[in-house]
Amino acid sequence: MAKKRSLLSRWWVWLLVLLVAAIGIFWTVRGEEFTRTGEAGTAYAARVACSCRYVAGRSMEDCGKDKLAGMELVSLSANEDTKSVTASIPFVASDTASFREGYGCVLKQWEDD
């Protein structure tokens, strides 16, 4: 019985190793494209949600409805003290737009990598 259990536990280890390797290969091949798309998506979502919240005066829950199809991974959070909205995709990208009187909502400046 102990031998059978040992084989079963090794099967899960190999499945986990295979899954981690598959994610690593995906990230190596498509990671930069995914990151750049994520950066554009979070910048767009932050700007739109900031305008929705601080220009139009809608609630953040209502502003979340303005996300386009395919933006389900983008999460939004508002900072009422700084009048800013941050949009993020975990482990991929994050961007913040802040309300500035006379300008509306503007994104923080991107820095070249």
Task: For residue 96, give both structure tokens.
Answer: 């913040």
**Rg of the chain over all Cα atoms, to the nearest angstrom:** 21
Q: What is the pLDDT of residue 111?
A: 56
pLDDT in tens, the chain (113 residues): 555 566 556 777 888 888 998 888 877 877 677 778 889 999 999 999 999 999 999 999 999 998 888 889 999 999 999 999 999 999 889 999 999 999 999 998 765 55
pLDDT at site 82: 95
At 10 the pLDDT is 76
Q: Which helix (H) or strand (E) holds 98?
A: strand 93-100
Measured distance CA(85)–CA(49) in Å, rounded:
7
Domain boundaries, the chain: 2-107
Identify whether the C-beta of residue 77 lies closer than 8 Å to the C-beta of residue 94. Answer: no
How far is residue 18's CA from residue 86's CA, in Å, rounded to a whole number?
Answer: 35
Q: What is the model's pLDDT at position 70?
A: 85
